C-alpha cells in the first residue's frame, strides 16, 4: 500500500460557490503530513470531507486501499480514521477519568452495553478499561488532573484530554485540526513532542495548523489556496515558495 489516505480530484460546491477544485494529495503510512493555507482556503471543508462529515461534489477518498467516499464519520472512525476539532471536543461535565473511560468504551463498542447489563466479565472489563485510561492519562501528562472536570481545565489541558481520547480509539490515521489553537509556546513545544511520539508509535497524522513552529514536525506539507493545492514538498522548501509566501505568509 503506497498511501494510507488518497484524496483524488476532490471538488466541492456550496450554493454555487466553488470551495474546492480538483484537490489531490496522498498521506503515506507512518508519516506526518501537513496541510496549510490562509483563512478561507477550504481547509475545514477538506478536513470534513476526509473525516466523513461531508460528501464531496466530485472526486474520491481512499483509505487503506478502499473507496470510503460514501462512508459516514462513524464508519470511518471504527476503521481507525479519527479526527479532532479546532475547538476541543470533550465532555465538559465529566472528569478527565470519565472522559477517557468513555472513549475506551466507544472503541470497544460492545463493552459499554455489556457493562450496563451487568453481564459476566463486565466488572473485569471495567477495571481493564480504567487501567488503560489511567495509563493513557499518564502518557499525556494528565494524571494531576485525573479527577477534575474537563470543562474546568485550561484550553491546553482540554486539548490534551481530546488527544488522549483520540489515542484511546486506536487510530491508524489521526486528523488534527489546529491542535495548537489556544496553546502557549511551552504547550506547543510539548504538543510537538507528543505528536512525534504518537508517530513513532505507528500513528499516521494529517495535521492542519497555522502554527509554523508546530508544522515543522511534518515530513511533507501541502498548501491550499482558494480551494486548490498550489505547492507541496518538505516544510523548508514549501516555506520558501514565492506563491506560498504571497498567499500564506503575506510577503
Residue range 156-166, pLDDT digits in tens: 889 889 999 99
For residue 145, the 8-state DSSP code is G
pLDDT at position 232 over 90: yes
Rg of the chain in Å (alpha carbons): 19
Confidence of residue 248 (pLDDT cuts 50, 70, 90): low
Q: Could you report the per-residue pLDDT of 24-68, keeping only the tens digit for each?
A: 999 999 999 999 988 888 998 999 999 999 999 999 999 999 999
d(CA 108, CA 169): 8
Classify domain 1-80+171-251 by CATH architecture.
3-Layer(aba) Sandwich (3.40)
The Cβ-side half-sphere exposure at 211, using a 13 Å CA radius, reads: 21
d(CA 119, CA 122): 6
Boundaries of CATH 3.40.50.300 in the chain?
A: 1-80+171-251
Q: Could you report the per-residue pLDDT of 64-88, keeping only the tens digit for each?
A: 999 999 999 999 998 999 998 877 7
pTM of the model: 0.87
For residue 248, the 8-state DSSP code is T
Amino acid at each position: 500500500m503506497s498511501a494510507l489516505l488518497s484524496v483524488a480530484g476532490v471538488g466541492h460546491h456550496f450554493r454555487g460557490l466553488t470551495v474546492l477544485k480538483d484537490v489531490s494529495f496522498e498521506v503515506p503510512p507512518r508519516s506526518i503530513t501537513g496541510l496549510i493555507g490562509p483563512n478561507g482556503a477550504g481547509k475545514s471543508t477538506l478536513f470534513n470531507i476526509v473525516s466523513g462529515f461531508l460528501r464531496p461534489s466530485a472526486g474520491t477518498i481512499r483509505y487503506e486501499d478502499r473507496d470510503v467516499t460514501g462512508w459516514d464519520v462513524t464508519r470511518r472512525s471504527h476503521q481507525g480514521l479519527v479526527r479532532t476539532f479546532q475547538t476541543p471536543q470533550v465532555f465538559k461535565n465529566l472528569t478527565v477519568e470519565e472522559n477517557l473511560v468513555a472513549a475506551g468504551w466507544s472503541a470497544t463498542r460492545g463493552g459499554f452495553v455489556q457493562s450496563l447489563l451487568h453481564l459476566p466479565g463486565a466488572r473485569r472489563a471495567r477495571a481493564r478499561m480504567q487501567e488503560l485510561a489511567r495509563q493513557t492519562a499518564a502518557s499525556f501528562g494528565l494524571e494531576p488532573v485525573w479527577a477534575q472536570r474537563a470543562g474546568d481545565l485550561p484550553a491546553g489541558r482540554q486539548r490534551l484530554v481530546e488527544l488522549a481520547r483520540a489515542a484511546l480509539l486506536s487510530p491508524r490515521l489521526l486528523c488534527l485540526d489546529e491542535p495548537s489553537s489556544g496553546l502557549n509556546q511551552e504547550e506547543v513545544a510539548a504538543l510537538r513532542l507528543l505528536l512525534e511520539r504518537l508517530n513513532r508509535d505507528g500513528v499516521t497524522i494529517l495535521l492542519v495548523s497555522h502554527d509554523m513552529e508546530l508544522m515543522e514536525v511534518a515530513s511533507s506539507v501541502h498548501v491550499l489556496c482558494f480551494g486548490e493545492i498550489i505547492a507541496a514538498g518538505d516544510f523548508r522548501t514549501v516555506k520558501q515558495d514565492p506563491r506560498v509566501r504571497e498567499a500564506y505568509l503575506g510577503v
